[in-house]
Structure 1
Amino acid sequence: MGNCRFLMENRFYVDNLVMSDDNPDELCRLYALSRERLLRGGFELQSCNSDHVGIRGEMEKHGTLSVHGNNWEKVLGYRYCPLSGALHVTPVNCNPCACTKRQILGESAKVYDPLSLCLPVSLRDRILMSKLWKEGFAWDVLVPPEYLSLWKKKLSSDLSELGTISFPRRAFSENGVGELFLFCDASPEVYGFAAYTVQDCHSCLVFAKARVAPLKRKTLPTLELMAVLLAFRCLPTILLSFGRFSPSEIHVVTDSQVVLSWLVSGTIVSKNLFARNRLKDIQQMSGELGSALGFVPSFRYIPTAENPADLITRGLTMQKFRTFFQLWCYGLSWLSSGSAPWATQELPCLSRRSQEIVRSSWNAAILHGEESRSVLPLERFSTLSKLLRVTTLVVKFINRLRRVEADCEKLAAILIMKTMQHQVYAEEI
């Protein structure tokens, strides 16, 4: 009963009820129960469909099975084929003769892809609009021939073909255990990330997001850091949408060793105040996620050639998108095989300590483990007040190097208590 109530309260999108489960019997029960409850309120459930033959039979018996001559259903803006289990972006017909900024924006806005499954292709229209904004063209003035040629010969036809690409609907099982990978990347024009779930030797794209780079020029490492920040900002929504599925590990992956050194060390040795503030935001969100999940996301590195998010920042024509579709939709083979390349990587831009953290199987120690190690040998102090005073000075010195403002005496007291707990109650902890 509780599951049905949760579905009725949370899985209605306007007048569409969407539910999924690994157990067909449970789905059949939920269908019958939801139909009964809606009838009590005078709402008749209609136009139902399922990818399971038995449930379709029940719907046909009740007269609620959707019959409209098409083998697909409209689900949250996508076309879903129950027989094949495939999702398609709703086909659009973009007018190649659009010749002003207003017309080009109107045509490109026809593509509706809330999960950004076709982001490497569809993002190119945002890049084009960004260039038109930088040039300062008015809304209804003819754009220059080079931009018109880009829209007419390439972009409009590519956007019109997006509906021909099919994506798998099933990405993971809510009842299983898996991992979540967030691949981040940036270019001078855009930054973004792609999220993949990995479960039972199967990886699949679940969400992607990108933004056009600010008009005020930023350095490439700063944009790479903004891609990581964007991933962290979207992470709570992604986890909330997973339902009962809770990943055992979350990996934030970048192809920038400079950014990785910032993330692992927690410091930026430069006068880039904007980047330092973004790093503080990431650290704060990582700590909040750690409190909610019981672990913090780990930071990893991969070469650019192995980064699926690189397809976002490059921008692909439809032809190239088909070529790289397997990489975009499922990631590299090591994702599903479980043979992560962390342990064998060369990271010359990182300190030895940071390299050890990144290569470890779980590098959450950067937020918890290092705090638990004793900064000073406790046995050398005869009184608690002297220990607290000296430890406060050490913490104050470290925070000054990191350019962090905090209550150093409070942090020192917490550090001492944690260290003593780990020494005395090591087995229990």
Structure 2
Amino acid sequence: MSNSCEVLQAIPKLDRAAEIDIEARHLPTTKALGMTRKAEKDTFIFKVGEELKYPQTLTKRNVLKTGARIFDPLGFIAPITVKGKILMQEIWLNRIDLDEKVSEGIAQKFHQWFSELTELKKVEIQRCIIENNVDYLVTELTLHTFVHDSANAYGASVYARCEHENAPLSVRFIAGKSRVALLESTSIPRLELLAAMIGLKLAQATCKALNIDISTVTFWSDSRNVLQWIRNQSRQFKTFVANRIGVIHRTTTPQQWRHVSSKENPADVVSRGQTLNELIDSKFWWQGPEFLKKPESERPVNKVEMRGCSKDEMKSKVMLFNSDTEKDAKWRLKAKNYSQWKKCLSEYLLG
């Protein structure tokens, strides 16, 4: 298969896709790596709506089957699929059995989400990241990864910024990823750190596919907590934070992580979800924030104050007390004289 009839004519008929008809001069829509591709326009499309049928009885099983029909490995429609993930998590929290009918409130949310899935055919994504023109010589290609979290989900999105010698620079969406928040109670800073981790993994996969060194990637986050953690030593934090900051330090440098405001962070769309009509017309999602089209001097200033990190994630300092048996050492604190640690500690601090 090719998007050029001239190329297809040079390919033996037995080696062409079965549905190709050269005489008709019309290139069909085919499957490519699980995605549906319009060969003539060289675009990816979604044909989920043609296969979906609204279930007669809305159960957990049917909701799960509906979500499983959407194949979106690159996260093109992550702002749509994340709403299905959040809905599924809500069903699990309500402890609904697999074939049990869901509540009326969940049914209304599913109906709204289902109506958007049937219209996914309206979404078309250009396959080529770089402009397909021999006259456009790429002088610089850099990646920018944005991460964000919300109370329900967190996610990331990656963009390619291409500078051309004979054309204006372009910014294109490459990939997105979303995950629902953990079921157990988790602090907002920890969710922000999980968003940073998923952004790092997505950037690594993208760099491997495009043969780009990850040291050239810029990471953008609106979490000052995460940016401060990254600029400190991992060993001074508790295990949850220390392990993840350690992974970030082994792969990237603190200078690669920069601050961006929430309103200029396209990953906010991933974590909160968006309607289909909003997504189709969203330049913010498909082309990233406007500052990526500007030179470095006009991008957001990296305001990360190097103040003390939150004590909630810092390791506790252990104080050791020696009980002296000598009678003349009355000035020493004798821990055995106290029944409670707090009383002993307050006595020590007050002198």
**Structure 2 residue identity aligned to 1:259:** V
Q: Which runs of 5+ in 2 are unaligned?
A: 21-26, 132-136, 164-168, 317-351
The 3 A distance-change label for structure 1 pair 286 and 151 is same
In the alignment, structure 1 residue 132 sits paired with structure 2 residue 95: no
Match of 1:117 among 60, 65, 76: 76
**Structure 1 residue identity aligned to 2:291:** W
Q: Residue 48 of structure 2: SS of its match in structure 1?
A: coil
Determine which structure has the larger helix proportion and give its number. Answer: 1
Q: How does 1:162-311 map to 2 (within 5 A)?
A: 162-172=120-130, 177-200=140-163, 201-243=169-211, 245-246=212-213, 249-266=216-233, 272-286=238-252, 298-311=256-269
The C-alpha deviation readout for 1:117-160, integer Å capped at 9, x for no partner, is 100011111100111111211111111100011112x1111122
Aligned partners of 1:210 and 1:343: how far apart in 2?
25
**Structure 2 residue identity aligned to 1:203:** V
TM-score normalised by length of structure 2: 0.75
**Structure 1 residue identity aligned to 2:87:** L
Match of 1:80 among 12, 16, 37: 37
Q: CA deviation at 1:100?
A: 0.8
The 3 A distance-change label for structure 1 pair 183 and 115 is same
TM-score normalised by length of structure 1: 0.62
In the alignment, structure 1 residue 147 sits paired with structure 2 residue 110: no
Match of 2:4 among 21, 44, 52: 52
Aligned partners of 1:213 and 1:249: how far apart in 2?
29
Match of 1:328 among 285, 291, 294: 285
Tell me if the contact between 2:207 and 2:213 (Cα under 8 Å) persists in the aligned partners.
yes
Q: CA deviation at 1:176?
A: 5.8
Aligned partners of 2:193 and 2:284: how far apart in 1?
23
Q: Residue 210 of structure 1: SS of its match in structure 2?
A: strand
Q: CA deviation at 1:264?
A: 2.4
Q: CA deviation at 1:233?
A: 2.7
Q: Residue 182 of structure 2: SS of its match in structure 1?
A: coil
Aligned partners of 1:254 and 1:341: how far apart in 2?
18
Tell me if the contact between 1:122 and 1:159 (Cα under 8 Å) persists in the aligned partners.
no
Aligned partners of 1:175 and 1:67: how far apart in 2?
36
Q: CA deviation at 1:89?
A: 2.3
* Residue equivalent to 2:321: none
Tell me if the contact between 1:262 and 1:268 (Cα under 8 Å) persists in the aligned partners.
no
Q: Which runs of 5+ in 1 are unaligned?
A: 1-48, 288-295, 355-400, 404-429
Tell me if the contact between 2:234 and 2:241 (Cα under 8 Å) persists in the aligned partners.
no
**Structure 2 residue identity aligned to 1:262:** W
Q: CA deviation at 1:190?
A: 1.0
Aligned partners of 2:174 and 2:191: how far apart in 1?
23
Aligned partners of 1:343 and 1:329: how far apart in 2?
20
Q: Residue 251 of structure 2: SS of its match in structure 1?
A: helix
Aligned partners of 2:88 and 2:300: how far apart in 1?
42
The C-alpha deviation readout for 1:211-254, integer Å capped at 9, x for no partner, is 111111111111111111122233332222114x5577211110
